[in-house]
Amino acid sequence: MSIVERVREAGVVGAGGAGFPTHVKLGARAEAVIANGAECEPLLCVDKELMQHRAQRVVRGLRLAMEATGARRGVIATKARYSEAVAALRAELGDEERISLHLLAGYYPSGDEKSLIYEVAGQVVPSGKLPPDVGCAVLNVGTLIGVADAAEGVPVTAKTLTIGGDVPSPVTVEAPVGAGIRALLPLAGFAGDEGTHALIVGGPCMGVLAESWDEPITKTTGGLLLLRRDHPLIVRRLLSVERQAKLARAVCCQCSFCTQMCPRSALGLRVEPHKAMRAFVTGRGALLGDPRSVLACSSCGLCTNYACNFGLAPDRVMDALKAAFGKAGIGPVPEADIRADPFVAFKRVPVKRLIARMGLAAFDRPAPFAQARIAPDRVRLLLRQAVGKPSLPVVQKGARVRRGEVIAAIPENALGAALHASIDGTVTAVSDTMIEISKGGVA
């Protein structure tokens, strides 16, 4: 069985992003495979901890990815300040000639796929195109560990994530996929509740506010960040669209600073959030300019969290426009003449400055890896954990399953990922959206 087939059977998906099925990435040819260990989001420590403690697995996965794609070289891109992780990787690579380290400055969003490809390979991926179109494959370091495991017949049953923010002891842990969020928070010493704190699933820039703390983690959950409800970051996120529109009509002066600081605009992809704000506040779509340029936005949130001096949220406007275009069947069109800003390097925002701007400096602390195994009594595995179609259950209520056993398969002729039991137990519920497994009952 090929490594691509093993990765498909193991249910490996992009661990650091939207969850694109990894077997599809490995099925394309590439000149170079880039291991993304840049840890795009502030306050998260997953990539750093994995590279430091599991360097051998990262390098093993990278070699397998190079073999699958036919790549002649591999690059591990990570921040220079991750000194312990860099040392562990260098020790593991030894005299390896085909794999190199690319050390990045601490800027945001260095982990953005297109920004990373531009810095490492000097190529800009046009809108609507994929990294293989410029000869690259990009996989998160956590994904590469999944590739290494898959080669040995071990499927994805756990996810590494950081629990941080306003907690006594930030920590990075490995938890079974489907474990409840609420049960994980005490691992960081947190004893509060929804009355005082809000929970961001993901990072502070691109993460989403949790509607319920009882939701489960997935294969793509990278962080759980707690902030007090009166923190400015939370207050702004809770503003209604109507309130945002009223504020924008009152104070947006079309300074265009959001566009000037946009990382995708700096790459020459013509993203112009100030025009989106202009169309939003006036209700005149013609003022948007080229509407398809909106689709090149990466939703990094830099326009909102750093550029705007008036507390507005251009990223929410861009997200709303992208969603509307998607429903209307409007897709991106590759740019014919891409010219990166010659001053792109000078527009990169230092992460420390971004953290200070967002009022998060007090929470910028180490989150060391905890080796203790987490053993919940119940998991709820969502059927949609990857880009594509939801997985189809292959078990019924009452079935006994062991950790690693397939419980949901990829729909025929569709993009998706297989799903495996993350604990030993009995299937106690199967629905259109999830499979629940409770501990015990396995012979």
- Mean pLDDT score, 265-273: 94
CB 193 within 8 A of CB 203: no
Q: Are 116 and 77 in contact (CB under 8 A)?
A: yes
By DSSP bridging, strand 32-37 and strand 136-140 are: parallel
**Mean pLDDT for the stretch of residues 208-219:** 96
Task: State the Cα–Cα distance between residues 433 and 443, nearest whole angstrom.
Answer: 27
Residue type, 276: A
Share of residues in the chain with pLDDT > 70 (%): 99
Both tokens of residue 70?
């036919």
The beta-strand segments (E) located in 303-418 are 349-350, 378-382, 392-393, 400-401, 406-409
List pLDDT tens digits, range 272-317: 999 999 998 888 888 888 888 899 999 999 999 999 999 999 999 9
Fold of 3-151: Rossmann fold (3.40.50)
Q: Is the pLDDT of residue 327 over 50?
A: yes
Strand order across the beta sheet in which 434-439 lies:
378-382, 434-439, 425-430, 400-401
The two tokens of residue 83 are 């000194």
Point out the least confidently predicted range of 21-35, 114-128, 134-148, 320-334: 320-334
Local structure of 325: helix, strand or coil:
helix
- Give the pLDDT confidence score for residue 286 in this predicted structure: 81
Burial 172-188 (b: 16+ CB within 10 A, else e): bbbbbbbbbbbbbbebb
Domain ranges in the chain? 3-151, 158-231, 248-335, 378-439
Res 336: pLDDT: 84
Q: In a 3-state reduction of DSSP, which class is residue 342? A: coil
* Residue 181 near residue 210, CB atoms below 8 Å: yes
- Over residues 407-417, mean pLDDT: 96
Helix (H) or strand (E) holding 52: helix 46-53
Q: Tell which wins on pLDDT, 379 or 290.
A: 379
Q: What is the mean pLDDT of the chain?
A: 95
Taking only the tens place, the pLDDT of each residue in 81-136 is 999 999 999 999 999 999 999 999 999 999 999 999 999 999 999 999 999 999 99
**pLDDT > 70? residue 442:** no
DSSP codes of every residue in 386-428: SSSSPPEE---TT-EE-TT-EEEEPPTTS----EE-SSSEEEE
The answer to whether the CB of 226 falls within 8 A of the CB of 198 is yes
* CB proximity list for 194: less than 8 A, separation 6 or greater: 213
pTM: 0.96
* Mean pLDDT, residues 208-218 taken together: 95
- Which residues lie across from 103 on neighbouring strands? 78
Q: Residue 303: which of 332, 266, 340 has the closest Cα?
A: 266
pLDDT band at 319 (very low <50, low <70, confident <90, very high): very high
Would you place residue 441 in the very low, low, confident or very high pLDDT band (cuts 50, 70, 90)?
low
299 CB-near residues (< 8 Å, 6+ apart): 206, 315, 318, 319, 322
Instruction: Tell me what pLDDT residue 443 has.
Output: 44
- Please choose, from the candidates 16, 18, 19, 88, the residue with its C-alpha nearest in 3D space to the C-alpha of residue 47: 16
Rounded to the nearest angstrom, the gap between the alpha carbon of residue 332 and the centroid of all alpha carbons in its chain is 21
> Can you count the helices (H) and strands (E) in the chain?
16, 18
272: helix, strand or coil: coil
Could you say which DSSP state residue 161 is in? E
Q: Which range, of 209-213, 216-220, 239-243, averages the lowest pLDDT?
A: 239-243
Task: Report the amino acid identity of residue 1.
Answer: M
Paired strand residues for 138 = 34
The answer to whether domain 158-231 and domain 378-439 are alike in fold is no
pLDDT score recorded for residue 285:
83
Rounded Cα–Cα distance for residues 325 and 32 (Å): 33
Q: Is 246 left (phi over 0), alpha (psi -120 to 50) or beta?
A: alpha
The correct answer on CATH 2.40.50.100 for the domain covering 378-439 is: yes
Instruction: Assess if CATH 3.10.20.600 describes domain 158-231.
Output: yes
List the one residue out of 386, 378, 373, 442 whose CA is nearest residue 416: 386
Alpha carbon distance 400, 443 (integer Å): 8
Please give the structure tokens belonging to residue 363: 């929470």
Give the DSSP per-residue string, 169-215. S-EEEEEETT-BHHHHGGGGT----TTTEEEEES-TTT-EE-S-TTP
For residue 152, what are the contacts with CB-CB under 8 A and spacing of at least 6? Answer: none
